[in-house]
Amino acid sequence: MNGMTPIVKKVTQLIVGLIFLYGIYIITHGHLTPGGGFAGGAVVAGSFVLLVLAYGSNILKLKKREEGSSVVESLGILLFTVLAFAAIFIGTKVFFANYLPKGVIGELISAGVIPLYNIAVGIEVAAALFTIFLALVIYKEEVLK
Amino acid sequence: MIVYLLCFILFLVGLFGVLTKRNVIKIVIGLSVMEFSLFLFFALIGYIDKGIAPIIVQNIPNAKFVDPLPQAMVLTAIVIGLATNAMLLAIAIRLYKKYNTFDIRKINSLKG
Amino acid sequence: MEIVLSIVIVFMILGAIYALYAKDLLSALISCGIVGYGLVICFLLLQAPDLAIVQIVVETITLVIMVAVVLNSTREELKEKAVVNIDGVSYVHQRYIVNVILVVVFALFLLYFFKESIFTLDHFGEHVTRMSTAYIEKAAEQTGSANLVTGILFDFRGYDTLGEATILFTAVIGILTILRAKGKK
């Protein structure tokens, strides 16, 4: 599909980095301010969707399938499962427990293992939404050779 | 009490759209409106009068918080609603490619 | 508070009714956006900022995908009506009567249960569930996070989050399977 007019392209070039940084801020400060993994992941996916809509699908410049974002999504949920299984060997030896030390309420490094869960869910949600967008809007139907 | 009644009316509007319309896109819109009414109902139950958002801030000693448990449930439900809508739209794309129409009364090649 | 909420919900109902009766599919999708963004205002009035952020971004992405699907196929609503006019007498299509009767039966059935439940719930704004006092007191020092919703979502109710991540993953696999296989010759 084609891109948009030069005004849209110029404004996108200035803004898309700020949206990406805002999404990462929402993900990592999920235990202090409103937000968390799901909200931050959706904002990061929104920045990628904006880039593809403004510049056309030539910016992807790759093969005919959405392999890259699909692999990133699988890595995200694999990280989530590894963190959940690692609770069997450390600490109280219960599946899916909170085993890192909880610091002072209100610091950036606190609340045990919750920031790591936020990062894993954020990666997974962002890659899943971008894969859904690519599959339904750009690569609509392909023929298996 | 009247907010609960209005929420129920929104649910009935969505149900009417799913059962009566013949266009596949209108059925998807009706299902989406039904899900929105359910999110609204959950958020209405958890509201406490003159309460604030459930986040602990240092310089407010003890405050009345809104109930955080229905908010956690609705957060999960919003993402699940997105996944359901995306799958319905994928099926709608396939139907249009094969039959060249969105009318569900003409999509009946299993009959006869 | 109740008055402002009621006005916003009445706007949502009007938008939903127009979305189901529009002649043009693109206008119907824009009206569906009214319902979604009105819900964001309701979430902000009910002191739930997490839900407002998630709903506004998810609604935008859903609208973009639906507009792309509609613009790639067809934009017009179906032409034939359910009520046809033959020789001056109007006949109603047979399937349409059955559907409307079914909607009325469901509505009465749900209305009975709604009446039963609305007299056991407290007034709007005074409802206290059994678990809420225990969660609010214990969540801060047992999980260690300042955001109570995130602490409940990842520590007290962690299995729900695991199930939701699985559902999102399965939906992506399902979409890639439906849109790919064109059959082998």
B89 to chain A: closest CA residue: A136
The whole-angstrom separation of Cα A37 and Cα C161 is 10
| A neighbour chains, 3+ CB pairs within 8 Å | B, C
The whole-angstrom separation of Cα C51 and Cα B75 is 6
B40-64: b (≥16 Cβ within 10 Å) or e: bbbbbebbbeebebbbbeeeeeeee
Measured between CB atoms, does B41 come within 8 Å of chain C? no
- In this prediction the ipTM stands at 0.89
User: Which residues does chain B have within 8 Å of residue A136's beta carbon, measured at their own beta carbons?
Assistant: 86, 89-90, 93
pLDDT of residue B73: 92
Residues 37-96 (C) with a CB less than 8 A from some CB of B: 39, 42-43, 46-51, 54-55, 58, 61-62, 65-66, 69-70, 73-74, 77-78, 95-96
Nearest to C147 by CA among A145, B109, A34: A34
Measured between CB atoms, does B98 come within 8 Å of chain C? no
Q: Are B82 and C62 in contact (CB under 8 A)?
A: yes
What residue ranges of chain A have pLDDT lower than 50?
Answer: 143-145
pLDDT of residue A46: 93
Smallest CA–CA separation between C129 and chain A, in Å?
23
Domain limits of chain A? 6-138
Q: What is the pLDDT of residues B35-61, one digit of tens each?
A: 999 999 999 988 888 888 888 887 676
Q: What is the DSSP letter of A136?
A: I
User: What is the CATH number assigned to the segment(s) B2-99?
Assistant: 1.10.287.3510
pLDDT of residue C99: 85
B59 to chain A: closest CA residue: A106
The whole-angstrom separation of Cα C41 and Cα C13 is 14
What residue ranges of chain B have pLDDT lower than 70?
Answer: 59, 61, 109-112
Q: Output the tens digit of pLDDT for each of chain C's 185 residues.
A: 889 999 999 999 999 999 998 888 899 999 999 999 999 999 999 999 999 999 999 999 999 999 998 888 877 766 656 566 666 555 666 777 888 888 899 899 998 988 888 888 778 877 777 778 888 888 877 888 888 899 888 888 888 999 999 999 999 999 988 887 665 54
Residues 74-133 (C) with a CB less than 8 A from some CB of A: none
Length of chain B: 112
Q: How far from chain centre, in Å, is Cα C74?
A: 25
pLDDT of residue B18: 92
Work out the burial of residue C130: count CB atoms within 10 Å of its CB; fewer than 13 is exposed, 13-18 middle, 19 or more buried. exposed
pTM of the model: 0.89
C68-99: b (≥16 Cβ within 10 Å) or e: bbbeebeeebbeeeeeeeeeeeeeeeeeeeeb
* Strand-pair category, C83-86 with C89-92: antiparallel
Q: What is the pLDDT of residues A84-111, one digit of tens each?
A: 888 777 766 667 777 776 767 777 777 7
Cβ separation B93–A33 shorter than 8 A: no
Domain limits of chain B? 2-99
pLDDT of residue C59: 95
